[in-house]
Chains A and B, each alone.
Chain A
Amino acid sequence: MKSKFLVATGILAISVLNSCGPDNSHKSTTTAADVATENNKKKIDELNKQYPRIPDDRILENNGSSSALYAELKGRYKDNLTKLKEDVAATGAQFVVVIITPEAGRQPTLPNVYGIPFIKSTCSQLGIECIDMSPALATQDLKVITQTPKDGHWSKKGAIFLASQLAPIIKKHSDAKSTLSYKDAERPETFGDLPPNDDEVLDGGKNLPYHLTANGQGCRMSHNLKFPKAKQHILFLGGSQIYSPFLDNEFIATTLLEKQFPNAEMINTGMIASSLDDYVSLFEEKAKYCEPDLVIVQTNGGDITDFFFSNRNHLSRIQKPRLPSPNEAKFYAQAYSK
């Protein structure tokens, strides 16, 4: 009798574990879409074994900035920025590019030395509003605004600083309104890539635990967006500088901005290790359906070198195997033959 009770308890235990415990949604049932990308994943895995990631700086060493390879990467960056600009323009939203480097108070790295001027000139050519925050960041104390020495991402004070830098942009575009709206049936379930309703503690292996909360729409925010919208929607596309690891939701810049601007909702879709092509695909697939009135894209020179094929194979959200171009193959052979 007692043993039958044990079996029943085992089943009960597992069902309780399933329903109330830490999130294990990453292990949920495989969908048809997952199966479809399985072959691509395998190919990418094979390529990743063959071609490790290249450190960003390495591409630019020994006059690499004037190389055909860097020109090719810049071309990819420009194409993607153009595509994103067009996609945003199609929704009638305002589009702003902000250059945020994780290099407060120190000499910029090579990708930013060469990358930032290019980004600025490209934005100028394409007629995109571009705000360079790197000079303001350079005057800041690294130990205050980042979690140095454990990690280079924003501290609480850093998030306040970031919010103070972004606030004038939001204020300036407070009248921005998109011209496009979607029917509920058209809208995807999520606007961001985080697991919906994620509620867990992460520490990135750095012993800096933080509480990540995602809304039901996969964005780093505490509430779900409702439609038709009653407030202005400001969409943030970016990497870890927008996502803000090692800070609880309540301390990140987008939450601080939401408190500052009660008539706007800050939609944080930032993801660690994301790059410009990820923003393009995310916007096209999901984010545009949140009907943003203002789209703020965070970028820096690293996004250009991130277009190196092996870096994309390793990091991109798009599960598409990329083979090296002749320039990349040549560089790879040179860099790894030493």
Chain B
Amino acid sequence: MLFNTTDFAIFFCIVLAVYWLVWKWRNAQNLVLLAASGYFYFCFRHSLPIYLYCVIGAGYLSGILINMLNEKSKRKAVLVCSIIIIGAGLTYIKYSGLIFGNIPGLDKWQASVLKIVTPIGISYFTFSSIGYITEVYRKTIIPERNFITYAAYISYFPHILSGPIPSAAKILPQFRKNFIPNPVQIEQSFGEIIWGLFKKMVVADNVVLTVNYVFDRYEDLNGSTLFLGTTLFSLYLYADFSGYSEIAMGTSRLLGIELAKNFRMPFFSRNPGEFWRRWHTSLRKWFLDYIYLPMGGKQGSIVHYILLILFIFSFSGLWHGANYTFICWGFLNGLYFVPYILTGTLTRYKEPVAARRKLPTAKEFLQVLLTFNLVTISRVFFRSPDIHVAGDFFSKIFSASFFQAPLHLATTNVLWCMPMLAVEWIQQGKDYVLDAWKLNIFIRLLIFGAVIASIWYFHKQMNTTEYYYFKF
């Protein structure tokens, strides 16, 4: 049941109606959410909720146990054990293919028996659980004693499949408050949902076949087409993933839960540091809070800082998949930081590019262009099935054929994505892309109507493609 299907629309309307009907009783609302999330998750594979509820149970008990203990060493021991138990499931399920595939003497059949099908969204609910118990250990939150509230929070269907990974301190308290949305919030929700659908159905779904074509048939294509294809993959990934996140935020707001913004115009970043503060921000924050800062962050020497950056990015790559390509992708993105760190140019900008101006300066433009291309080129590793293909792909890009004319199809597909970026650029600084609250209601309706009409008119009728990040 994907967000961009009528099945989901019907499901969500029913959930919303029941949820709003019981607005006076928070526990009943959480019960509705728990049942809805269970059903939503069940629709993807019938056996999946069992593992989910095991993780929920483990996280719930760990939180209570840690809170009961006063001695720091014991609290830490429970924390470590809980993380191992919850994390072991993720590690086994996600990496069993790699582990058993490489054990000598184990044939394909035996390896396939030992390998478990990866439950969709496993990383997200595992990270949410680990984040929660760590916060309880750090005493930044009190543990949730109401099992229904806790279970509703972890299994919450708008974010369970691809995030944003919730911060327990910010999101969990919202599951304890009664809520009735006001018209402004309802309009914002619809705005986010419509724009998210536009990005997924008009942009991502229309260019995905060309992306697949470029990466599958790279041997037959010239360097400039491959370069444009990689650019297209970057744009596709953004449209697909940020579109999903915006629908998640919009639907969640209608249920009274404010999720964190996961994307803040990442393609308008002036250095890699700024890019990663704007791309998949909830995952970055998770790594920051639970790995980077506990390991010393920027406190040690510059060598320690650089090594830590490289480790975090490589680890992030490994999280994406048990393949050397992901590790290379992560490592390369970490490596990008090194010259910036050494030259002291890893500026932590307080304002977005061209703030209070219509266009960026020439310097800013070049900085943005460089950052975009650095990030984009690393995605060859991200998209390639193995390291040899990635190597061949790179050698074709950086060959004389780079100076040949690209395939017309690749150019038109890249242009197809431009209106999305243009509208987001114009609307930067607003709460959401279709925010036009100061305008007359009829003009706002006209804008919404125009976007809906373009979704209806331009969406790819042939197939409904799954969100790319579901696999992680």
* A and B associate: yes
Q: Name B320-361 residues within 8 Å CB distance of A.
A: none
Q: Which of B212-220, B247-255, B366-374 contacts A (4 or more CB under 8 A)?
A: B212-220
Q: Tell yes or no: B88 within 8 A of A by CB.
A: no
Q: Tell yes or no: B34 within 8 A of A by CB.
A: no
Which residue of A13, A21, A208, A248 has the most chain B CB atoms within 10 A of its CB atom? Answer: A21
Q: Give A205 to B409 CA distance when docked, in angstroms.
A: 20
Q: Tell yes or no: A79 within 8 A of B by CB.
A: no
Q: Give A13 to B426 CA distance when docked, in angstroms.
A: 12
Q: Tell yes or no: A207 within 8 A of B by CB.
A: yes
Contacts known (A200-B409, A209-B209, A211-B409); A3 close to B438, Cβ less than 8 A: yes
Contacts known (A16-B419, A201-B409, A203-B212); A3 close to B443, Cβ less than 8 A: yes
A6 touches B415 (CB 8 A): no
Q: Tell yes or no: A52 within 8 A of B by CB.
A: no
Could you say which residues of chain A place their CB within 8 Å of the CB of B458?
17, 21, 24
Could you say which residues of chain A place their CB within 8 Å of the CB of B394?
none
Q: Tell yes or no: B395 within 8 A of A by CB.
A: no
When each residue 413-425 of chain B gets 1 if its CB lies under 8 Å from chain A and 0 otherwise, what string results? 1011011101100
Q: Which of B100-108, B155-163, B238-246, B449-457 contacts A (4 or more CB under 8 A)?
A: B449-457
B416 touches A20 (CB 8 A): yes
Q: Tell yes or no: A117 within 8 A of B by CB.
A: no
Q: Give A56 to B422 CA distance when docked, in angstroms.
A: 53
Q: Give A10 to B445 CA distance when docked, in angstroms.
A: 13
A6 touches B419 (CB 8 A): no
Could you say which residues of chain A place their CB within 8 Å of the CB of B451?
10
Contact of B412 among A10, A22, A203 (CB under 8 A): A22
A202 touches B209 (CB 8 A): yes
Could you say which residues of chain B place their CB within 8 Å of the CB of A248?
217, 220
Q: Name A183-212 residues within 8 Å CB distance of B.
A: 199-203, 205, 207-211
Closest beta carbon of chain B to A210's beta carbon, Å: 7
Contact of A21 among B416, B427, B446 (CB under 8 A): B416
Q: Tell yes or no: A2 within 8 A of B by CB.
A: yes
Could you say which residues of chain A place their CB within 8 Å of the CB of B463?
205
B217 touches A13 (CB 8 A): no
B422 touches A209 (CB 8 A): no
A209 touches B412 (CB 8 A): no
Could you say which residues of chain A place their CB within 8 Å of the CB of B454?
13-14, 17
Q: Give A13 to B420 CA distance when docked, in angstroms.
A: 8
Contact of B206 among A21, A203, A209 (CB under 8 A): A21
Could you say which residues of chain B place their CB within 8 Å of the CB of A17?
202, 416, 419, 454, 458
Q: Give A9 to B463 CA distance when docked, in angstroms.
A: 29
Could you say which residues of chain A place their CB within 8 Å of the CB of B443?
3, 7
Closest beta carbon of chain A to B436's beta carbon, Å: 5
B426 touches A201 (CB 8 A): no
Contact of A201 among B212, B427, B438, B457 (CB under 8 A): B212
Q: Tell yes or no: B17 within 8 A of A by CB.
A: no
Contact of A3 among B416, B418, B422, B439 (CB under 8 A): B439
A209 touches B213 (CB 8 A): yes
Could you say which residues of chain B place their CB within 8 Å of the CB of A205?
462-463
Q: Tell yes or no: A49 within 8 A of B by CB.
A: no
A16 touches B415 (CB 8 A): yes
Which range holds the interface residue count of chain A? 20 to 34
Q: Give A178 to B220 CA distance when docked, in angstroms.
A: 37
Q: Tell yes or no: B154 within 8 A of A by CB.
A: no
Could you say which residues of chain A place their CB within 8 Å of the CB of B450?
10-11, 14
Q: Is the interface of B mostly helix, strand, loop or mixed?
A: helix
Q: Give A39 to B410 CA distance when docked, in angstroms.
A: 39
Closest beta carbon of chain B to A30's beta carbon, Å: 14
Which range holds the interface residue count of chain B? 35 or more
Closest beta carbon of chain A to B417's beta carbon, Å: 9
Could you say which residues of chain A place their CB within 8 Å of the CB of B206?
21-22
A22 touches B426 (CB 8 A): no
Kindly report which residue of chain A lies nearest to residue B439, judged by CB atoms: A3
Could you say which residues of chain B place their CB within 8 Å of the CB of A26?
461
Contact of A2 among B212, B220, B415, B426 (CB under 8 A): B426
Contacts known (A6-B436, A17-B458, A27-B457); A211 close to B416, Cβ less than 8 A: no
When each residue 195-238 of chain A gets 1 if its CB lies under 8 Å from chain B and 0 otherwise, what string results? 00001111101011111000000000000000000000000000
Could you say which residues of chain A place their CB within 8 Å of the CB of B408?
199
Which residue of A11, A12, A202, A203 has the most chain B CB atoms within 10 A of its CB atom? Answer: A203
B212 touches A209 (CB 8 A): yes
Q: Name A1-52 residues within 8 Å CB distance of B.
A: 2-3, 5-7, 9-14, 16-17, 20-22, 24, 26-27
B409 touches A9 (CB 8 A): no
Q: Give A10 to B412 CA distance when docked, in angstroms.
A: 19
Q: Give A200 to B407 CA distance when docked, in angstroms.
A: 11
Could you say which residues of chain A place their CB within 8 Å of the CB of B457?
24, 27
Closest beta carbon of chain A to B68's beta carbon, Å: 52
Q: Give A7 to B408 CA distance when docked, in angstroms.
A: 29
Q: Give A13 to B424 CA distance when docked, in angstroms.
A: 12
Q: Give A278 to B426 CA distance when docked, in angstroms.
A: 51
Could you say which residues of chain A place their CB within 8 Å of the CB of B422?
9, 13
Could you say which residues of chain B place their CB within 8 Å of the CB of A211?
213, 217, 407, 409
Q: Give A248 to B206 CA distance when docked, in angstroms.
A: 19
Minimum-distance CB pairs A-B, first 6: A13-B419, A209-B213, A21-B416, A201-B209, A201-B213, A209-B212
Given contacts A13-B423, A21-B416, 15 further A-B contacts (CB under 8 A): A6-B447, A9-B423, A10-B447, A11-B450, A17-B419, A22-B206, A22-B207, A22-B412, A22-B416, A199-B409, A202-B209, A209-B213, A248-B217, A248-B220, A251-B220
A-B contacts, 18 of them at CB < 8 A, read A3-B443, A6-B426, A6-B436, A7-B443, A10-B423, A10-B447, A12-B419, A13-B419, A17-B419, A21-B412, A22-B207, A22-B210, A24-B458, A199-B412, A209-B209, A209-B210, A211-B213, A248-B217
